[in-house]
Amino acid sequence: MALDSETMQGLLESVARFVRERLRPLEHQVAQEDRIPAEIRREIAEMGLFGLSIPEEYGGLGLTMEEEVRVAFELGKTSPAFRSLIGTNNGIGSQGLIMDGTEEQKRRYLPRLASGELISSFALTEPEAGSDAASLKTSARKVEGGYILNGTKRFITNAPHAGLFTVFARTDPSQPGAKGVSAFLVEAGTPGLSLGPIDKKMGQSGSHTSDVIFEDCRVPADALLGGREGQGFRTAMKVLDRGRLHISAVCVAMAERVIDDSLRYAVERKQFGQPIAEFQLVQAMLADSRTEAYAARCMVLETARAKDRGEDVATDAACCKLFASEMVGRVVDRAVQIHGGAGYIADHGIERFYRDARLFRIYEGTSQIQQIVIARNMVKALG
Ligand code: COS
């Protein structure tokens, strides 16, 4: 454990209080304005949440995976846009650098990512390369003293706020698959790097995605992550193994939140002369949701502990992502059902979670990609 149990308990309690007292009252406003207030970003930075999983020597809290998912269990009990603000700095935006960056690269960027001064983004997906990430076309041509990047990245979370992008590009055009891919650390403002308009999404208002466009964007040689070509795809996959576990924890948290909302509603709402919580058909929905959320919580904790022990959790992280994201989809659907007409009305909040949850089955690998990863690894393990 990175923190002693008292400090960890204190952190969990302060995150829970912050969610309850500061973030939940702002959920509607953030959805309406599609913007997280600047003071919330400051408070999040003051609590150290931008650096949860960044090692202490670079200014972060250096949480273990288990500790990180426990924080996500609390932070995810509100609109996912808040978690998304810190999600890339702790997850896919910084982990490539932590896992495979050179010491010099880590020193240059990690302290500023941990403090929240810099926001980072993970630029893998392209218009023609989504699930088939290894087919990406963005090129990085080697020139004297550096590389020239050309291509378009799509749906890049936090791109409109990012100061640093981890960009996956093909350095070896003779290798069409994973082997020809390298990762680069590219700073916002580099000439030749521009952004598309902010995407209009189904949900998760307040969290922003956009295209990231490279047109003869020149980066220095030391922008190559880890200083080695051809390692980029492996880096992306390792980062996603970890990211999938984190997202699974967020799914558990959202499920627990809407179960709590549904339970309170069912106890208050009276029909046929009694609270609807007294009806067995409503109880069945509550019980199924509670059971599934608990199962996902156990899976996530167990896999996080295995990761902390140094085990390869690629398969189990995919199992968690598959189960937890599908689970929260069912749970929010039942939550709408329990709320009845009120669940369908925009201002009530439940329909917002219903839309917000839909993304979990898609990003950081669709459910179908998780199934492929799980089954392939099972076959491979047979030898
Ligand atoms: N950890 C480390 N290395 C890994 C790995 C992992 N979890 N998964 C794969 N690799 C390595 C493989 O070992 C292989 O290297 P070698 O050729 O040296 O053995 C290389 O990466 C290529 O792997 P693979 O052959 O499995 O690649 P595929 O092109 O068949 O695709 C999938 C793999 C489909 C699993 C991958 O493209 C994927 O995860 N797609 C979804 C992408 C995604 O999540 N997008 C969301 C964007 S971020 S929001």
Residue 243 C-alpha to ligand 1 middle, in angstroms? Answer: 14
Q: Domain 234-382: what homologous superfamily? A: Butyryl-CoA Dehydrogenase, subunit A, domain 3 (1.20.140.10)
Residue 2, pLDDT score: 78
Residue 78, pLDDT score: 98
* Smallest CA separation from ligand 1 atom 28, residue: 134
Residue 50, pLDDT score: 96
Residue 58, pLDDT score: 97
Q: What digits encode the pLDDT tens for the residues 245-266?
A: 999 999 999 999 999 999 999 9
- Report pTM: 0.97
The span from the CA of 134 to the CA of 292, in Å, is 33
Which one is catalytic: 27, 67, 126, 364? 364
To test ligand 1's pocket by mutation, which of 237, 320, 359 has the most ligand atoms within 8 angstroms of CB? 237
Residue 233 C-alpha to ligand 1 middle, in angstroms? Answer: 7
Q: What is the mean pLDDT of the chain?
A: 97
Structural domain spans, the chain = 5-115, 120-230, 234-382
Decide if 364 is catalytic. yes
Residues with CB under 6 A from ligand 1: 122, 124-125, 131-134, 177-178, 233-234, 237-238, 240-241, 314, 363-365, 369, 372-373
5-115 CATH choice from 1.10.3720.10, 2.60.40.420, 1.10.150.120, 1.10.540.10: 1.10.540.10
Residue 178, pLDDT score: 96
Residue 147, pLDDT score: 98
* Smallest CA separation from ligand 1 atom 5, residue: 237
Residue 1, pLDDT score: 77
What is the atom index within ligand 1 of the atom nearest the CA of 155?
Answer: 49
Residue 129 C-alpha to ligand 1 middle, in angstroms? Answer: 13
Architecture of domain 120-230: Beta Barrel (2.40)
Extract the residue ranges of the chain whose pLDDT is less than 70.
none
Residue 61, pLDDT score: 95
* Smallest CA separation from ligand 1 atom 35, residue: 373
Residue 314, pLDDT score: 96
